[in-house]
């Protein structure tokens, strides 16, 4: 089997597919790319058994077939090439691939293509279409709040689809994010937990993409397809927590503050907070917000005052300073509302004004107990 392909186009495709490859995988064939030529198209695939990705590009060929080739070797070699045609020829007996270019040739070994894992086929139970850049944004808004601990149900992002909207939810039990898009809908209500690795890949590939991405879901798998690329992954098999139950519905105390100013002050006072809790005390009264942090072990403390707009009863509430900074940094708008009910209840953080009528963003952070 022989074909000719553009070095630049091939390298771009391999970089995309290579995001899935685990180069130190104990199964040798999983360190390969699968290449299939049919009808003057080359389809390149890779998998780690949990996530599959494939991309198709045009080639010059009068034959068809399939072979595998060592991913890292081919990727590292193609980085050195300027734009030029590359001629591939595969020897089915030795499982070697010879690549000829304008100043020489090289040979790379592979494995039997018949041993390459086949992606699962499934009949979708729910489908939705979303602009690539918006899906990347939804992933970016939520992925940081997923759990890094051994909690499978919290280690991914919860997609909650309905005919009216789609919620993207993430939580690690300390903070929670619910990002809603009313322009993303599914004919059938459906929910699923998507793991971090394929979501990170999607975020990187889709950022800036205006083309539509077609999402499909079954009880076990999901797929995302756009242009000449398809990514398929396994869902997390767990029940997502009832996140709605922890969101306070009545929050009569509302603090409106400049987000960047608050982040600046929090970054300053966190250096003086207890290193195990990073507790910062927020004192709310009138048009003034006071931040206090103290580390008894080193007899250090910090006190900051900043202007704000506050409607409600005077109160004090404690938060983990690092979690609060992380939440605030993932809000694009310059001004935020922090809605509170009691010092023992979570704080709800939202943009003071949204720039997109079809999105809703709610962030939540659990309080810390303040020693009296």
Residue of 286, 361, 291, 285 lying closest to 319 (CA atoms) = 291
| pTM for this predicted structure | 0.93
Mean pLDDT value across residues 132-152? 94
pLDDT at site 17: 96
- Residue 182 — very low, low, confident or very high, per pLDDT cuts 50/70/90? very high
* Lowest-confidence region among 90-94, 138-142, 228-232, 322-326: 90-94
Q: Check whether 333 has a pLDDT greater than 70.
A: yes
- Residue 372 — very low, low, confident or very high, per pLDDT cuts 50/70/90? low
Q: Which residues pair with 256 in a beta bridge?
A: 309, 337
Place of tokens 């931040």: 291
Residues 301 and 314: beta-carbon distance below 8 Å = no
**DSSP symbols for 230-263:** EEEEEPP-SPPP-GGGGS-S---EEEEEEHHHHH
pLDDT at site 222: 98
Mind listing the pLDDT tens digit for each residue in 42-69? Answer: 999 999 999 999 999 999 999 899 999 9
Alpha-carbon distance of 359 to 181, in angstroms, equals: 5
User: Is CATH 3.10.150.10 correct for 126-243?
Assistant: yes
Q: Average pLDDT over the chain, rounded to whole?
A: 95
Mind listing the pLDDT tens digit for each residue in 207-224? Answer: 999 999 999 999 999 999
Q: What percent of the chain has pLDDT over 70?
A: 100
User: Is CATH 3.10.150.10 correct for 2-115?
Assistant: yes
Alpha-carbon distance of 188 to 165, in angstroms, equals: 11
Residue 197 host element (H or E): helix 196-206
Q: Check whether 168 has a pLDDT greater than 60.
A: yes
pLDDT at site 355: 81
pLDDT at site 195: 97
- Residue 77 — very low, low, confident or very high, per pLDDT cuts 50/70/90? very high
pLDDT at site 329: 96
Bridge pairing between strands 85-91 and 229-234: unpaired
Can 2-115 and 247-365 be said to share one CATH topology?
yes
* Lowest-confidence region among 8-17, 194-203, 349-358: 349-358
Q: How far is CA 239 from CA 145, 188, 202, 205, 306, in A?
A: 17, 19, 23, 28, 42
pLDDT at site 179: 98
Residues 215 and 122: beta-carbon distance below 8 Å = no
Mind listing the pLDDT tens digit for each residue in 260-277? Answer: 999 999 999 999 999 999
Query: Tokens in use for 342?
Result: 């009691």
Q: How far is CA 177 from CA 129, 222, 274, 302, in A?
A: 22, 22, 26, 29
User: Is CATH 3.30.750.24 correct for 247-365?
Assistant: no
**Extents of the domains making up the chain:** 2-115, 126-243, 247-365
């Amino acid at each position: 089997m022989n074909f000719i392909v553009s070095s630049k186009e091939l390298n771009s495709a391999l970089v995309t597919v290579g995001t899935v490859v685990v180069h130190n995988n104990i199964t040798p064939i999983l360190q390969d790319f699968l290449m299939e030529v049919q009808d003057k198209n080359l389809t390149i695939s890779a998998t780690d058994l949990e996530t599959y990705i494939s991309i198709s590009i045009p080639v010059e060929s009068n034959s068809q077939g399939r072979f595998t080739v060592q991913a890292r070797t081919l990727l590292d070699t193609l980085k050195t090439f300027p734009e030029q045609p590359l001629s591939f020829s595969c020897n089915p007996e030795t499982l070697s691939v010879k690549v000829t270019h304008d100043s020489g040739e090289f040979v790379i070994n592979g494995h039997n293509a018949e041993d390459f894992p086949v992606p699962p086929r499934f009949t979708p139970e729910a489908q939705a279409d979303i602009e690539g850049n918006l899906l990347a944004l939804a992933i970016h808004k939520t992925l940081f709040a997923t759990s890094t601990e051994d909690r499978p149900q919290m280690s991914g992002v919860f997609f909650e689809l309905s005919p009216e909207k789609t919620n993207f939810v993430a939580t690690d039990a300390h903070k929670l994010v619910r990002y809603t898009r009313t322009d993303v809908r599914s004919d059938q209500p459906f929910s699923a937990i998507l793991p971090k690795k394929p979501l990170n890949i999607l975020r990187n590939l889709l950022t800036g993409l205006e083309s539509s991405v077609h999402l499909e879901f079954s009880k076990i798998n999901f797929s995302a397809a756009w242009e000449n690329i398809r990514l398929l992954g396994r869902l997390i098999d767990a029940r997502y927590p009832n996140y709605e139950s922890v969101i306070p519905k009545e929050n009569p105390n509302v603090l409106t503050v400049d987000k960047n100013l608050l982040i600046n002050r929090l970054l300053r006072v966190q250096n003086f907070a207890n290193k195990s809790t990073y507790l910062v005390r927020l004192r709310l009264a009138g048009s003034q917000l006071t931040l206090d942090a103290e580390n008894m072990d080193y007899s250090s403390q910090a006190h900051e005052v900043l202007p704000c707009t506050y409607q409600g009863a005077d109160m004090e509430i404690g938060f983990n300073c690092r979690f609060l900074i992380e939440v605030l940094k993932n809000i694009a708008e310059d001004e935020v509302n922090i809605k509170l009910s009691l010092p023992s209840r979570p704080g709800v953080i939202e943009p003071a004004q949204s720039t997109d009528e079809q999105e809703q963003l709610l962030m939540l952070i659990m309080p810390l107990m303040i020693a009296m």
